[in-house]
Amino acid sequence: MNIHNVSLTISAVRPNQYPTTGYMEFAFAGRSNVGKSSMINKLLNRKSLARVSGTPGKTITINFYNIDDTIYLVDLPGYGYAQRSKSETEKWGKMMEDYLANREPLVQTILLVDSRHKPTKDDITMANWIRHYHTNLIVVATKMDKLKKRDIEPNLQRIWETLEMGEDDILVPFSTQDDEGKYTVWDMIEMMRAG
């Protein structure tokens, strides 16, 4: 994908702020700090378009990045953030479920999990939501550069098993430190765009 213009269209806190252009949307979900914003920056070859934070952000927003007036990459609010209050967690759940269930231009939600850790209960819940609302489960294993070589295969296997992935599902190893996963993700997006 040859990208010319990217911009943050809106950091939405309410559905009536979501874009109305109708471009296909590809969304990225996962725990706080898993690397969603970093991955979007990597995909777009931008250093800091999507805000990357050492400490997870408290604001619950859905961020829509316009790619050449053709698609949106959507940065979904992270979960598993311990400092979040009960009411904020409820707000997160409502906003996410509403987006996943009702958002017409949404083509696919991609789940990001940290390659170093076993997927959490929340990751399993999110994987099941994705399976419910889309036909395929696409998972990206982030921060692959942090794994020792001997841990690569067992850790990918652990993700596969914990999320009960099947033959129609896809697991993509990803790192901001190289380009391999980037091309795979773009190829998948291109294929889904073409239908």
Question: Which parts of this chain interact with Mg ion (CB under 5 A)?
Answer: 36-37
Q: Which two tokens stand for residue 172?
A: 């993509």
Site membership for ligand GTP, residue 34 (CB under 6 A): yes
140 touches, from Mg ion, ligand GTP, none (C-beta below 5 to 8 Å by class): none
| Phi, psi angles (nearest 5°) of residue 92 | -60, -50
Which residue is closest to Mg ion by CB? 37
Helix (H/G/I), strand (E/B), else coil: 64: strand
- Length of the chain, in residues: 195
Query: Within positions 12 to 31, which residues make up the interface with ligand GTP, using CB under 6 A?
Result: 30
- Based on the shown chain and the rule CB under 6 A, indicate whether residue 143 belongs to the binding site for ligand GTP: yes
Which residue in 176, 185, 188, 189 binds ligand GTP (CB under 6 A)?
Answer: 176
Q: Could you say which of 98, 177, 179, 186 contacts ligand GTP (CB under 6 A)?
A: 177
Contact code string over 49-88 relative to ligand GTP, x by CB under 6 A: ---xxx-xx--------------------x----------
Listing DSSP states for 86-143 in one string gives: HHHHHHHHHHHHHHHHH-TTEEEEEEEEETTS---HHHHHHHHHHHHHSS--EEEEE-
Contact 63, 73 (CB under 8 A): no
Q: How many helices (H) and strands (E) does the chain have?
A: 5, 7
119 binds ligand GTP (CB under 6 A): no
Q: Which among 1-9, 100-108, 132-140, 143-151 is the span making contact with ligand GTP, rule CB under 6 A?
A: 143-151
Are the CB atoms for 89 and 174 separated by under 8 Å?
Answer: no
Binding residues vs ligand GTP (CB under 6 A)? 30, 32-38, 52-54, 56-57, 78, 142-143, 145-146, 175-177
